[in-house]
Amino acid sequence: MMARRRSATLEGDTRAIDDAASARLRAAGQRYTSQRRALVALLAGAGSPLPVPAILAAGGGLTQSSAYRNLAVLEQAGVVRRVVTDEGFARYEPGEDLMGHHHHLVCSKCGRVEDVALSADVESQLDRSLDRLARGAGFASVSHRLDLIGICRDCG
Amino acid sequence: MMARRRSATLEGDTRAIDDAASARLRAAGQRYTSQRRALVALLAGAGSPLPVPAILAAGGGLTQSSAYRNLAVLEQAGVVRRVVTDEGFARYEPGEDLMGHHHHLVCSKCGRVEDVALSADVESQLDRSLDRLARGAGFASVSHRLDLIGICRDCG
DNA sequence: CTTCCTGCAAAAGTTTTGCATTAAC
DNA sequence: GTTAATGCAAAACTTTTGCAGGAAG
């Protein structure tokens, strides 16, 4: 079955994500330590962006300060992405090009966050519209962040 | 010239926004004090969402705690909206139905935020797609938040 | 006069930083 | 061996809360 949609990204492939992370950190002059490896594996397997407390609770045995420091390094290397919601704290997920471009369904009651993808044609039409809009406003090299806010099945 | 696009919202009309704010606060059992009036006027005239330090610096003479408390009250009454970016602090703007539905152009270098609107047809097609997507995931009553991230003319 | 709002001060929460120690290359 | 990563503790920062005094209805 080759029905899985083709993609230029590494999607759920943990091994490939690990390799990419290694290469990018090396390129950035950073070491790929076991803590960082564990962080990347945890985020890659999570299916939704994780807040720092959840990362600490996952048992990797890392300190709060190391978590923040390593996440910052991984973010700068383009391996992870910092996701903000209106919860008052940040969440982290693998970078766009590792996970594939996607959006978030956010429950406004419980804060639950789920990954979702837009269909390719809607996404590309949106991209074109946003590009035009941004150019008109003098903004360059535009990406976008689209979140859906609603009530999840458990809270509804 | 009446070329200004028709809209069901109050858009830039400060007087109408003030009246609406008054009505909503009364309906919520809250008073429309001079501080709150000043807050609403400030946000309505700003053209982009303001962080609390900027609100304090605007000279209204209000305290930090009063600013946060009043913004929370105004948010619950549906008069203002709390906007989160990845800056580590929140910004505030007049509520959607007062300002009109719009999005934000965010400069990833300097943090500058500008209001922009999508064309009506792109917006409505997007709405339909997102509704379908959310329903499929079991989410109800969905709104969306779309930000464009790029480099502004001053930073480019 | 009763209720809510305001200011001041302290607390709570997340994230950052300093410094000595340990691990990676 | 040299350089960078880690743990612990303290600090910085945004936001929230307690409480006494003051304004609004």
Which of chain A's residues have a Cβ under 8 Å away from the Cβ of B141? 150-151
Token pair recorded at residue B156? 């480019």
Per-residue pLDDT of A18-75, as tens digits, reads 999 999 999 989 999 999 999 999 999 998 999 999 999 998 889 999 999 999 999 9
Per-residue pLDDT at B64: 96
Per-residue pLDDT at A104: 93
Q: What is the DSSP string of chain A?
A: ---SPP-SS-TT-HHHHHHHHHHHHHHTT----HHHHHHHHHHHHHSS-EEHHHHHHTT----HHHHHHHHHHHHHTTSEEEEE-SSSSEEEEE-HHHH-S-EEEEETTT--EEEE---HHHHHHHHHHHHHHHHHTT-EEEEEEEEEEEE-TTT-
Asked whether the predicted pLDDT for residue A110 surpasses 90, the reply is no
pTM of the model: 0.89
Q: Residue holding tokens 């047809």?
A: B121
Per-residue pLDDT at B55: 96
Which of chain B's residues have a Cβ under 8 Å away from the Cβ of A153? 138-139
Q: How far is A136 from chain B (nearest CA, A)?
A: 10
SS3 of residue B78 by DSSP: coil
For A83, nearest residue in chain B (alpha carbons): B86
Per-residue pLDDT of B114-128, as tens digits, reads 999 998 999 999 999
B59: left (phi over 0), alpha (psi -120 to 50) or beta: left
Spans of chain B below 70 pLDDT: 1-12
Per-residue pLDDT at A6: 47
Which of chain B's residues have a Cβ under 8 Å away from the Cβ of A109? none
A46 touching B, CB under 8 A? no
B90: left (phi over 0), alpha (psi -120 to 50) or beta: beta
Per-residue pLDDT at A32: 93
Asked whether the predicted pLDDT for residue A12 surpasses 70, the reply is no
- Quick one: which of A127, A126, A37, A43 has its CA closest to A81? A43
Test mutation, A93, A139, A151, A154, chain B, max B CBs within 10 A: A139
pLDDT class of A3 with cuts at 50, 70, 90: very low
Say whether the CB atom of B24 is under 7 angstroms from strand C: no
- Find out whether B46 and B55 touch, Cβ atoms under 8 Å: no
Chain C nucleotides reached by a protein CB under 7 Å: 4-10, 13-18, 23-25
Per-residue pLDDT at B71: 97
| Bridge partners, residue B81, by sequence | B93
Per-residue pLDDT at B11: 55
pLDDT class of A1 with cuts at 50, 70, 90: very low
Among B residues 77-96, those touching chain A with beta carbons less than 8 Å apart: 82, 84-86, 90
Per-residue pLDDT at B5: 46
Dihedral angle computed from the Cα positions of residues B145, A140, A118 and B116, in that order, rounded to the nearest 10 degrees: 30
Q: What percent of chain A clears pLDDT 70, i.e. is strictly above it?
A: 92
| Inter-chain CB pairs, A–B, below 8 Å | 103
Which domains are assigned to chain A?
2-150 (1.10.10.10)
Per-residue pLDDT at A109: 85
For B106, nearest residue in chain A (alpha carbons): A139
- Find out whether A107 and B116 touch, Cβ atoms under 8 Å: no
Per-residue pLDDT at B6: 46
Token pair recorded at residue A15? 């091994």
Beta strand pairing status for B140-151 and B103-107?
parallel
Q: Rounded to whole angstroms, how far apart are CA atoms B54 and A79? A: 34
